Structure 1
């Protein structure tokens, strides 16, 4: 990775982190829909990112979010699971022509159909583990399912809107 790309992804992380911690933390729709926008930082890392560095980046991202949310590792565990599944899911969704080098997997670069099948299952996996850990021991599964579905929808729609407004093709944010 070149120094320019490293700086770009560092700034990208900083923006997502600050927005998550200072704006999204207090934004809850109808008491059930939470928005974990920082997940898009992990989804938009380069396709060429190897599994171990990706899991380390995800772990550090989750731990930093956990520090501000007081969630004791719930975000870290969810992010590591997302990173663990991400590369396998990318290879399962490889288009017929393959992927272009050094192109982030964003909506503008890949198209809506591919991006929907790429991001929605990964966001669902992240949210499902997060809310399952949060719900552990209460045996109330209907509220868990409602929280997961509404939060996935809220996160995905807000992520799409942000990409349409702020992202450039080939570079990301």
Structure 2
């Protein structure tokens, strides 16, 4: 793993967490649609990242957001769940030719259908965990389901916009020398 690889993902970590805390916290649609942009850090990591590192990074990013939101571990738990299930979702979505060892999650490389299935599946899982851990009751289940669906749609659209604006259309390869 070279130093530019590490610096790129460290910068992404700080950027996504800062965007979440400073901007997305106050950007809510009708008090039901929330955008949790910080999970883009976990979703956009390389496909071949070590599973243990993925779980550790999931905890760190979730715990960091929990510290600022004062949510007592809800985001850490949901992020670790996302990090745990990410390799399984990737296995389900494996293209016919398989993944290259240096592929990164990129809408231009993997295609629209793959990216939308990958993103919306993991965002839905994450948001379901966040909102049901937050509620801890099924009395308001319909309202919670509406929050999950609207927030998943909101976050997914923002992820697609991020990919189109900031990620290169060229095939992004990672050099592990």
Residue 41 of structure 1 pairs with residue 33 of structure 2: no
After TM superposition, give the deviation of residue 138 of structure 1 in Å: 5.8
SS across alignment from 1:26: coil
- Report what 2:6 is aligned to: 6
Partner of 1:73: 73
The unaligned stretches of length 5 or more in structure 2 are none
TM-score (normalizing by structure 1): 0.95
Residues 53-64 of structure 1: pairs in structure 2 closer than 5 A: 53-64=53-64
Displacement of 1:103 in angstroms is 2.1
Matched with 1:160 is 160
**Structure-2 separation of matches of 1:91 and 1:162:** 24
Q: For residues 1-173 of structure 1, what are the structure 2 equivalents within 5 Å? A: 1-137=1-137, 139-169=139-169, 170-171=171-172
Query: Partners in 1 of 2:152 and 2:88 — Cα distance?
Result: 21
Question: Residue 98 of structure 2: SS of its match in structure 1?
Answer: coil
RMSD: 1.3
Change (3 A) 1:171 1:67: farther
Distance 1:112 1:47 in 2: 17
For residues 75-125 of structure 1, the C-alpha deviation after alignment (integer angstroms, 9 at most, x for no partner) is 000000001100011011110111123221121221100111111111000
Tell me the number of residue pairs that the alignment of Structure 1 and Structure 2 aligns.
172
State the distance in 2 between where 1:97 and 1:171 align.
17
Query: 1:171, CA displacement in angstroms?
Result: 4.5
* Residues 2-56 of structure 1: per-residue CA shift (max 9 Å, x gap): 1110011111111111111100011100110000011111011111112111000
Offset of residue 165 of structure 1:
1.4
Choose 100-109 or 82-91, whichever is displaced more.
100-109
How far off its partner does 1:150 sit? 0.2
Secondary structure, aligned partner of 1:134: helix
